[in-house]
Amino acid sequence: MSNKNDSTRRDFLKKGALAGIAAAGGMTLGMGTKKAGARALPTPEKWDAEYDVIIVGSGFAGLAAGITARENGSEKVLILDKMPVNGGNSIINGGLLAVVNSKLQKKEGIEDSVDLYLKDLLAAGQNINHIELIKTVATEGQDLAEWCSEKGVEWNPTLEHLGGHSVPRTYLTTVSSGSGIVRPLAKHYTDKLGGKLQTRTKLTGIVREGNTGRVVGVRVREGYNFNYNATNGDRGNTTGTEKYYRAKKGVIMATGGFSQDPFFRGAQDPKLSLPTDQIDSTNHPGATAEALEEMFRVGAVPVHLAWIQSGPWASPNEKGFGVGSSYQIAAGFRFGIMVDPKTGKRFMNELGDRRTRAMAMFNVIGDPDKPNYPISIADSQEGVLAAQTLEKCLERDVVLKFDTMEAVADHFNIPEAALNDQIKEYNRYVKKGEDTQFDKPIDQGMKPIEKAPFYVMEGVPKVHHTMGGVMINTEGRVIETATQKPIEGLYAAGETVGGPHGASRLGSCAIPDCLVFGRICGRNAARDKA
């Protein structure tokens, strides 16, 4: 038993390192698409069920769409999900929401603006972002914390300051997870608004009407049995019964990214084509590409598909996102420093964007077979002790606790004098309010690293987010390659959309993107005259 565990652990030490290296080198690629409707599914003779709006996917975007569609007068709204559980990635996500000009920013005296938000996202996204989309997120997302609270979401009373953001602007759910948003929204949608949520139902086709080209429904497999043992993204699974559902007003695709799809992610970056048990990801196993592929099949424009992001805050000593990532985001990177154990020196801005940090970390890790994991070192300052998952990290040996810096150096075999010099140097920057070594933004909550005991976490980047997807306009309508115009009746929101985040998404910007465009899609589909 213990042997088995050990080998599992070793496997994913290796996996994490591999995954990261593979994801570090994204390139944008073009993709050929068929002429619109060329291979469209024919309209069935008889529909098995009829709805006003059908939403595919039950994460943040799908739920926001469902709620808004109901609120805007759609009687029959269906959210379907292929998995046996609802919530997709959202329900296991970190629960971080970055919004501008929020009540908490006012309370904490933080000055922010839509322009500063855009500047941060463009810097991380290497200026290839579809700027009108993020402008919509920043502008229309300002009420999101309250919009969620009204439906039962509970937020922490203080803001987080995440990597790549100029100022603290991130709300965090009290449960440190997106489930703190998904569960209240799902309850509100089903219980208060009478919306229907149906799991184990997989989309297998989008139906476009022959003469008009309008999307009028979907083909699904009801009673779908997702195979959790599959390592190929569950391709070739034909369980369930085929049905056709009519959508009178529109189909909203809220189907997420493809971090767990070896074929499709491998097509963008061949190093990522290894099976899912060999390359670790923070995503749920259903994060696969078939719905995205179906949108391309009916003519959608592919955007930024090869930009695949690895999260720099993960731990090689647990699976997936785990408890370590939350600690590293909230405490390790903000209040601590990350050093290369071989040198005892910092090597990056701990609050830089994800892509920059991930690439710097891979350089330190080196050979995945003999990884040299960088470590974050933090002390017992208030902000660190307040990290919600610190206790769990300690229980699970994801974070280790040391009484002296000498013990840290000893445990990780770090040159002690160099490490002490580095910490002294960093502490000077904190006192001065300016980091001239790596330009880490120093905020007033940060204190010098000096108060024992010290907390140390090994770090590895893991496949986390696929920036690419279909092209939409600011109305959430999917754009067709052949006509460069919206495909009538087809909407998309969330990670399945390409463009808003450009080359690399900033942390805590996915939830506002999903919620804002989910709401836009739900509203527009419900108001559609068709």
Partner 1 sequence: MLNRDWRKAGKSQTAWKKIMLCIIFAGIIMGGAAGVLADAVLKTGVDGIDCRGCHGKNEVLPEGHAALSGMTYDNCVGCHEDAGVSMREDMLLDHVHMLHGIGCSGCHSDPEEPAAVASETCYECHGDPRAVADLTADVDPNPHDSKHYGTDLDCDLCHRLHMPSVDFCAQCHDPVDVP
| Structure token pair of residue 72 | 């805007």
- The Cα–Cα gap between 377 and 381 comes to 12
Question: Of 329, 345, 349, 333, nearest to 436 (Cα)?
Answer: 349
Q: Which is nearer to partner 1, 139 or 227 (CB)?
A: 227
Q: Which is nearer to partner 1, 62 or 352 (CB)?
A: 62
Smallest separation (angstroms) from partner 1 to the CB of 341: 25
Smallest separation (angstroms) from partner 1 to the CB of 225: 8
Q: How is 185-201 classified by DSSP, letter by letter?
A: HHHIIIIIT--EEE-SE
Of 169, 200, 346, 354, the active-site residue reads: 354
Q: How far apart are the first and last CA of the chain?
A: 60
Q: Which is nearer to partner 1, 359 or 463 (CB)?
A: 463
Q: How is 365-403 classified by DSSP, letter by letter?
A: H--TTS----EEEE-S-HHHHT-TTHHHHHHTTSEEEES
- The Cα–Cα gap between 363 and 226 comes to 37
Smallest separation (angstroms) from partner 1 to the CB of 175: 5
Q: Which is nearer to partner 1, 8 or 404 (CB)?
A: 8
Question: Of 405, 342, 328, nearest to 373 (Cα)?
Answer: 342
Q: Which is nearer to partner 1, 313 or 454 (CB)?
A: 313
Q: Which is nearer to partner 1, 298 or 511 (CB)?
A: 511
Which residues of the shown chain bind partner 1 in the complex (CB under 8 A)?
5, 84-85, 87, 91-92, 175, 177, 179-180, 183, 225, 228, 284-285, 318-322, 396
Is residue 208 part of the annotated active site? The answer reads no
Smallest separation (angstroms) from partner 1 to the CB of 36: 38
CA angle 390, 391, 397 (to 5 degrees): 85
Smallest separation (angstroms) from partner 1 to the CB of 143: 26
Smallest separation (angstroms) from partner 1 to the CB of 5: 8
Question: Of 258, 267, 253, nearest to 288 (Cα)?
Answer: 258
- The Cα–Cα gap between 324 and 391 comes to 10
Beta pairing class for 49-56 and 77-80: parallel
Smallest separation (angstroms) from partner 1 to the CB of 168: 24
Distance of CA 447 to the CA centre of its chain: 29
Question: Of 180, 183, 199, nearest to 191 (Cα)?
Answer: 183
- The Cα–Cα gap between 164 and 515 comes to 21
Smallest separation (angstroms) from partner 1 to the CB of 359: 25
Q: In the block, which residue shows the tokens 């330190």? A: 364
Q: How many CB atoms are located within 10 Å of the residue 434 CB?
A: 13
Question: Of 349, 300, 342, nearest to 497 (Cα)?
Answer: 300
Q: Which is nearer to partner 1, 400 or 490 (CB)?
A: 400
Is residue 417 exposed (0-12), middle (13-18) or buried (19+ Cβ within 10 Å)? Answer: exposed
Distances (CA, A) of 381 to 146, 444, 447, 472: 31, 13, 7, 45
Q: Which is nearer to partner 1, 180 or 499 (CB)?
A: 180
Residues with catalytic annotation?
354
